[in-house]
Amino acid sequence: MHGAGFNIIYFDDDVVICDKASGLLTVPGIGPEKADCLISRVKCQFPDALIVHRLDMDTSGVLVLARNADAHREISRQFQDREIVKFYLAIVEGAPKQDDGEIDLPLGKQAQRSAIHIVDFELGKPSVTKWRVLERYPTERLGRATSLMELEPKTGRSHQLRVHLKAIGHPIVGDHFYAPNEIATLTPRLMLHSARLEFTHPTSKARVSFISPQPW
């Protein structure tokens, strides 16, 4: 099932699984010009759809919506208790020397009303990301060395993957918030994609997994 800016991967009486395009808000922003978003579009087909979690506007890929209060409560609990498994793909600047690793750096807002997040060892919340290099690309691909990484956030902080990768010296290509301008402008979109989401179905209790193919 297709809609502007998203695809419906799967639905039943409890959940809707969407594949969101880069550039579409998950929920409405502030102001009438930011009213258009994934949830408003999905509600045209599923009026009972409820937001459980979000993807940044510039991040593409798979996410789950609930269709009733019980499903919303149970899936939200799984997120809170870190029972949800999430894998992302990202193209980053440079070539990490190691093949895999873990980033354990606390994150917080730069300022109270700021959209920018930073590593904050005093007030930041614990944040952990596991990563693995899938491919190291030659300089010729984008004009400089880049790598394809698989990311598994063990916590769900805002902008976690983007700030963590910047912190280890490998910002995500196309990231206008956290990458230097020459890296932010290499591609027309943020090269971050929610590739797989795994959770326990709220009614059947079966472990289910949904995949969004790599979009680049």
Could you report the per-residue pLDDT of 83-113, keeping only the tens digit for each?
A: 999 999 999 999 999 999 999 999 999 987 7
User: pLDDT tier at 21 (50, 70, 90 boundaries)?
Assistant: very high
Spell out the domain ranges in the chain: 2-82, 86-192
204 contact partners, CB below 8 Å, separation of at least 6: none
Q: CATH classification of 2-82 is 3.30.2350.10, yes or no?
A: yes
Active site residue 56: yes
Q: How far apart are CA 157 and CA 127, in angstroms?
A: 7
Tell me the whole-structure pTM to 2 decimals.
0.94
2-82 and 86-192 share one fold: yes
Under the phi-then-psi rule, with left for phi > 0, alpha for psi from -120 to 50, and beta for the rest, what region is 130?
beta
Annotated catalytic residue: which of 14, 19, 36, 56?
A: 56
Question: Does residue 208 sit in helix, strand or coil?
Answer: strand
Give the Å distances, CA to CA, from 164 to 39, 131, 175: 28, 10, 13
Q: Are strands 85-93 and 60-66 parallel, antiparallel or unpaired?
A: unpaired
Nearest Cα to Cα of residue 59 among 35, 99, 91, 33? 91
Candidates 3.40.50.12780, 3.65.10.10, 3.30.2350.10, 3.40.50.300; CATH matching 86-192:
3.30.2350.10
pLDDT value of residue 4? 61
Give the Å distances, CA to CA, from 150 to 3, 73, 86: 27, 29, 10
Under the phi-then-psi rule, with left for phi > 0, alpha for psi from -120 to 50, and beta for the rest, what region is 68?
beta
The tokens for 170 are 């490998």
